[in-house]
Amino acid sequence: MARRWSCFVVWTALIFVGWMGTHAGAAGEVGQEELLERLDALTKLIEQQQQEIERLRREVENQRGAITRVEETQTRVEETRKAEVQEAVATEVDKQESSWKDSIPRWIRTMKVSGDLRLRYEGIYGRGETQPDGSVKDLPNRDRFRLRARLFFDGDITEEVSTHFMICTNQDANREATTTNQSFTDDFNDKGIYLHRAYATYEPKWLPGLELTGGKFKNTFLHTDIMWDPDVNPEGFYERYRYAGLKHFTPFVQFGQMVVNEVKNESDDAMLYIYQAGYVWEAGAVKWTMAGSYYDWSNLQNSKYLHTADYAGGGGNTFVLDDKGMLQYAYDFNLWEAYTTVDFTVKSLPVQLLGDYIVNVADRVPSDEDSAYYAGFQVGKAKKKGEWAVTYKYARIERNALIGSMNDQDFYGANRKGHKVKVMFRPLNHVRFDMAYFYTDPVKDWDPSDITFNKNKERMHEDRVQVDLIFDF
């Protein structure tokens, strides 16, 4: 605007000078000096006007700056007031929350709840049944849909004591320790929920690495599924110590005292005692785990279901009749186990090799019925979205190498050999898709004269397929 006003003044002056020159003849000739004086006066007037215009421009800019500063001050005041209100509200909320938390025991505040739901299709094909004359009859294929629902509750009572609970589905009729499945059956009847774990653990600060546990607990002894089914949760006590004072080498020992069955009128309860020692050795990118265990099953004649062969059909072990006409195990079970894993990576892909060997050293066990072994591997880990894993195992379990009612019942207990392949994939972080295939046979064909023949006659060759969809949280 100031520039436009200056141009207007200059053009007005020029027009005026031209007009003066045009009319000089009429008014009489004006001297050159007088004309220069007039022009000089006009120039000074223009300069004064420009200075006035510049002053007015500065005043306008100052006023604009003042307005801007006022607006900025108002914004800062509003933001400060808003922050103060938010801080006051947060302080009050924290105060109320703290007051509320103080009224609730610490172990409840720190309780962690997790769980999963598994939907399964299971198909059993190529089945055979031994007949009384020793021949094998083909059985129809079997298709069934099953579900498993589990809830875990883990809480710290103090810095040294924690508690753990698990409730889960199970079969209503047998409620066997080796399964958590419920089949789609029984005319829409409700499914049973049972207590699968309830235990407390003490980890004293005065001796880091020591762990004392009592109750019905997760099986923490190193093993494979030829010894224990993943669903078995022993009852009793265990003590474990891991020494972490060495940089790459961690030795450990663990002892367990498990109550199999308490008998009211007997002094010798059925028990299981486990002694395990081993180490974890990390050598660069390779981790080697080794454990040796001894299992002492005691007073099995006083077990509730095991010695009567009512549990998992006797699990494939050998039974005899006692002097009361009751079924009893033909042999004791005093087991040595050697377990090992080797973990490493191949092009950033985790790989694990796994081996397990078991021998029953109890008296009179036939040498061709006292051993079991497992060899397998896993490639990958399906822990996060997009990850996958493949596992494979070959197992051979002779008839009296271990308690057949307690190991993997999808593989069918003792007197069993065969292969298992499993593929796992996570399309989402909390969703996993699994597919497993079992190809199994008896180590020895079932003898029709065997006392438990009717419980085992269907355990011939079998192809089993399991397709799982698992949702976890």
Query: Which residue ranges make up each domain of the chain?
Result: 2-87, 121-472
Q: Two tokens at 154?
A: 């883990």
Residue of higher predicted confidence among 25 and 400 = 400
C-alpha distances (whole Å) from 10 to each of 34, 36, 44, 208, 321 are: 20, 16, 12, 96, 132
370 vs 368: CA distance, rounded Å: 6
Indicate the pLDDT class of residue 16, thresholds 50, 70 and 90: low
Please give the share of the chain, as a percent, with pLDDT higher than 90: 68
What is the percent of the chain where pLDDT is above 70? 93
pLDDT tens-place string over residues 98-107? 776 677 776 6
Contact 391, 378 (CB under 8 A): yes
For 124-148, how does the pLDDT look when each residue is reduced to its tens digit (9 = 90+)? 999 999 999 889 999 999 999 999 9
pLDDT at 162: 94
pLDDT category, 26, cuts 50, 70, 90? very low
Output the average pLDDT for the chain.
Answer: 89
Of the candidates 143, 202, 116, 31, which has an alpha carbon nearest to the alpha carbon of residue 431? 116
Residue pLDDT, tens place only, 293-308: 999 999 999 999 999 9
Q: Which residue has the higher pLDDT, 334 or 64?
A: 334
- Residue 5, pLDDT score: 47
pLDDT in tens, 243-291: 998 989 999 999 999 999 999 877 799 999 999 999 999 998 999 999 9
Q: 287 to each of 241, 341, 343, 374, how far by Cα in Å?
A: 19, 8, 5, 20
Contact yes or no for 450/415 (Cβ under 8 A): no
Average pLDDT over residues 338-347: 96
19 has pLDDT over 60: no
Q: How far apart are CA 396 and CA 445, in angstroms?
A: 14
pTM of the model: 0.79
Q: How many CB atoms lie within 10 A of CB 104?
A: 9
Q: What does the pLDDT look like over 161-219, one tens digit per residue? A: 999 999 999 887 777 889 899 999 989 998 999 999 999 999 999 999 999 999 999 99
Q: What local confidence, expressed as pLDDT, does residue 369 receive? A: 98
pLDDT at 14: 54
Say if CB 219 and CB 188 are below 8 A apart: no
Is the Cβ–Cβ distance between 250 and 280 less than 8 Å? yes
Q: Minimum mean pLDDT among 37-51, 329-343, 367-381: which range?
A: 37-51
Residue 22 confidence (pLDDT) above 60: no
In this prediction, residue 12 has a pLDDT band, given cuts at 50, 70 and 90, of: low
Q: Above 80 in pLDDT, residue 17?
A: no
pLDDT band at 409 (very low <50, low <70, confident <90, very high): very high
The CATH class of the 121-472 domain is: mainly beta
